[in-house]
């Protein structure tokens, strides 16, 4: 299952590799890093959504009143922002592994 996900990420990173050496260009490395960070953000969003699935606030900014729809809408936005912040500040290591794999895939494709 990991191989199709990595192949999809490689396609998203695009064919921006220069043919000067076996290493990708700085522009390609930046695009690979951004793609890996986005992947980690999506992974963390899914993980945090599962983590918060059973939590219901009765008070506070997300739980005031009986509006479950309002709470779930704001909760999804909040978890997505949590995930983006975590991924941008170093993450949990998923992006590093994805980035290394994308670079290896591009180097092997030459």
Q: How many domains does the chain have?
A: 1
SS3 71: helix
Residues 6+ apart with CB under 8 A from 48: 79, 82, 83
pLDDT of the chain, 110 residues: tens digit per residue: 455 666 666 666 665 444 445 677 889 899 999 999 999 999 999 999 999 887 776 655 555 555 666 677 788 898 999 999 999 999 999 999 999 999 998 888 77
Residues 6+ apart with CB under 8 A from 41: 80, 83, 84, 86, 87, 88
Q: What's the pTM?
A: 0.68
Domain hosting residue 87, numbered range: 2-108
């Amino acid at each position: 299952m990991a191989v199709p996900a990595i192949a999809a990420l490689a396609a998203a990173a695009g064919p921006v590799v220069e043919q000067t050496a076996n290493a990708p260009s700085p522009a390609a490395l930046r695009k690979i890093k951004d793609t890996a960070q986005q992947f980690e953000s999506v992974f963390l969003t899914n993980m945090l959504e599962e983590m918060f699935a059973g939590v219901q606030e009765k008070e506070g900014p997300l739980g005031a009143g009986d509006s479950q729809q309002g709470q779930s809408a704001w909760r999804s936005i909040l978890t997505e922002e949590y995930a983006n912040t975590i991924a941008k500040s170093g993450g949990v290591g998923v992006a590093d592994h994805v980035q290394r794999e994308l670079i290896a895939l591009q180097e092997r494709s030459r």
